[in-house]
Amino acid sequence: MSVKKQPVTASDVAKLAGVSQSTVSRVFIDGSSVSAAAREKVFAAAKELNYRPNAFARSLTTNESKLIGLVFPDSDYPIHMETLQLLSKELQKNGYSAVLIPWELDAQQQHSIPNIFQYRVDGVMAASAQFNTALYEECQDFNIPIVQFARVEEGTSCSSAISDNYSAGKLAARTLVERGAKKLAYLTGDIPSYTNNERLEGFTEELTDLTGSAPREINTSYVYEQALEGIRAVLAADDRPDAFFCSTDILAIALMDVAKNEFGLSIPEDFQVLGFDDIPQASWLGYQLSTFKQDFNRLAKEAVKQLLKQVQTDDQTMVKLMIPVELVERGTLRSK
């Protein structure tokens, strides 16, 4: 074992400061009654000894760890890194730290999820696209609040902070119709999700209201390479849509890539495209994709706020926070 420097404890500080250990402890607890004089002496001693309260010892008595388990996004989808930053910083701001819970566990490893609970996280933020049932049940068992970030798993009861996908869908329909689209399609991946359904529902309802007919729904894969084939089929057919609302920017980009590179088509002349997410690539020179931007900053703030509320109070009311989405116009829509 490594020769770890003997850590300095509250008692060491107490000795140097000439006060009791209890007093040292109080100095580091907000709202404790300590005289200014004692406080000074303790701070001085603590600084000299480079003292840090031991969070483990603390949580042993307080029964709260100030640790939040973070189930983080699985794919390398371009915005996830930012999301993680936001979430982590927001937690930090509130005095909490994030412990990573790797989402991908095979059957044999399933038992390692419980391991995370050896650390007694106060709450769990689920930001992964996959939803881990074992994790969910474990949280239920231990009465640990869990909130879902930018996702909703149906059939579970946890709070969530998500973008207003339904309204985005409606706005997409309205916008595309306004710009003269006649044959609209909704291009999406292969994994069903609540957020995707909401978006499709909004899109369909609004379009039906406006034109009397529903959009064509095209299912392919969320993975660029695997989406290509399906897209080729759609573009090659006679009934090619003249407007696509894509459920991710990656899909929109895959669509544009095959349209331009393999079919010699122009956008928005041959068809209009609307994406979703506003990933960095959406603004690249070759794409200039019009898309919906999710307010991840606000999503993170709200999600953390809600989680901490559930952690710190008895109020376990499940709430679904809806954050508006913004249409970012670039070059893949016709002008009005």
Partner DNA sequence: CTGAAAGCGCTTACAG
Positions in 10-69 near DNA (CB under 7 A): 10-11, 19-23, 25-26, 28-29, 33-35, 37-38, 51-54, 57-58, 60-63
**Which of a second copy, DNA, none does residue 88 bind (CB under 5 to 8 Å by kind)?**
a second copy
Nearer to DNA, 10 or 323 (CB): 10
d(CA 54, CA 85): 25
Residues 287-326: x where in contact with a second copy by CB under 8 A, - otherwise, as a string: -----------------------xxxxx-x----------
- Contact predicate 158/146, CB 8 Å: yes
> How large is the angle between the packed helices 36-49 and 10-17, nearest 10 degrees?
120
In the complex, the smallest distance separating the C-beta of residue 125 from DNA, rounded to whole angstroms, is 24
DSSP summary character for residue 32:
-
Residue 60 touches a second copy, criterion: CB under 8 A: yes
| DSSP letter string, 206-274 | HHHHHHSSPPEEEE--SSHHHHHHHHHHHHHSTT--SEEEESSHHHHHHHHHHHHHHH---TTTT-EEE
- Contact predicate 151/80, CB 8 Å: no
In the complex, the smallest distance separating the C-beta of residue 265 from a second copy, rounded to whole angstroms, is 13
**Which of a second copy, DNA, none does residue 324 bind (CB under 5 to 8 Å by kind)?**
none
Cα–Cα distances in angstroms (integers) from residue 321 to residues 180, 202, 294, 318, in the given order: 33, 17, 13, 10
Residue 104 touches a second copy, criterion: CB under 8 A: yes
Nearer to a second copy, 108 or 335 (CB): 108
Question: Of the listed pieces 40-48, 114-122, 201-209, 212-220, which binds a second copy according to CB under 8 A?
Answer: 114-122
Binding to a second copy in span 257-286, by CB under 8 A = 257-258, 260-262, 280-281, 283-286
Nearer to DNA, 54 or 157 (CB): 54
Residue 88 touches a second copy, criterion: CB under 8 A: yes
| DSSP letter string, 100-130 | EE-S---GGGGGHHHHHGGG--SEEEE--SS
In the complex, the smallest distance separating the C-beta of residue 263 from a second copy, rounded to whole angstroms, is 11
CA within 13 Å, CB half, 284: 11
Residue 219 touches DNA, criterion: CB under 7 A: no
**Which of a second copy, DNA, none does residue 97 bind (CB under 5 to 8 Å by kind)?**
a second copy
Amino acid identity, position 336: K
The answer to whether the bond into 268 is cis (omega within 30° of 0) is yes
Binding site for DNA (CB under 7 A): 6-7, 9-11, 19-23, 25-26, 28-29, 33-35, 37-38, 51-54, 57-58, 60-63
